[in-house]
Structure 1
Amino acid sequence: MQTFQHIIKDEVGLHARPAGMLVKLASSCSSDISITFESKKVSAKKLFAVMGLCAKRNDEITITVEGENEEADCLQIKEFCEQNL
């Protein structure tokens, strides 16, 4: 299992466009990917669940990646977050 924290830098927070891009990327990964914010933990492969977190700028999310290709998948998700969130 791989885990990392990310602080949302986007002015609008985790809104529809980056959430959609994140879900698309997560769905292409073979690993199970979840996002935890406050007390909510959701699948990163479900758009409405990700948007339902309502994470705003400067909020910290925790992403957990678990599966056969977790290292490579975690790296892809981490790079995406740094560039788009």
Structure 2
Amino acid sequence: MQEKRLVIQNKAGLHARPAALFVQTANKFESQIRVAKEDREVDGKSIMGIMMLAAGKGTQIRITAQGEDEKEALERLEKLIDNKFGEE
């Protein structure tokens, strides 16, 4: 299992479009992906779960991946967040 702590950087946070991009990216991998904000943890492959986190700009999230492609999954998700979901 691998884990990364990242900060949401795009202006609108994890609203519908970035949440959809996150889930689409997560679903490309076999690994189980979980996302946590404070004490709430959700399935990283569920758009409803990701949106329920209500992670706004500046929010720290923790992403964990477990499986054969966990390293690549985390790298891809980190790049997506660092690139502000292509919004800016």
Give the letter for the 2:50 counterpart. V
Alignment of 1:40-59 (within 5 A): 40-59=40-59
Provide the C-alpha distance between the structure 1 equivalents of 2:76 and 2:50, rounded to a whole number of angstroms.
17
Q: Is the 8 A contact 2:9 2:81 kept in 1?
A: no
Instruction: Give the Cα separation in 2 of the matches to 1:45 and 1:17.
Output: 14
Distance 1:9 1:75 in 2: 16
Q: Which residue of 2 aligns with 1:10?
A: 10
TM (norm. structure 2) is 0.91
- 1:79 Cα deviation (Å)? 1.1
Q: What CA deviation, in whole Å up to 9, does each residue of 1:6-29 have, x standing for no partner?
A: 111111111000100000110111
Q: Which residue of 2 aligns with 1:83?
A: 83
Q: Percent identity?
A: 31
Question: What's the CA shift for 1:84?
Answer: 2.5
Asked whether the equivalents of residues 31 and 73 of structure 2 are also in contact (C-alpha less than 8 Å), the reply is: yes
Number of equivalent positions: 85
Measure, in 2, the Cα distance between the counterparts of 1:55 and 1:73: 20
5+ residue gaps, structure 1: none
TM-score, reference length from structure 1: 0.94
Partner of 2:36: 36
- Aligned-residue Cα RMSD (Å) equals 1.0
- State the one-letter code of the partner of 1:45: K
Q: 1-side partners of 2:69 and 2:53: how far apart?
A: 26
Aligned to 1:64: 64
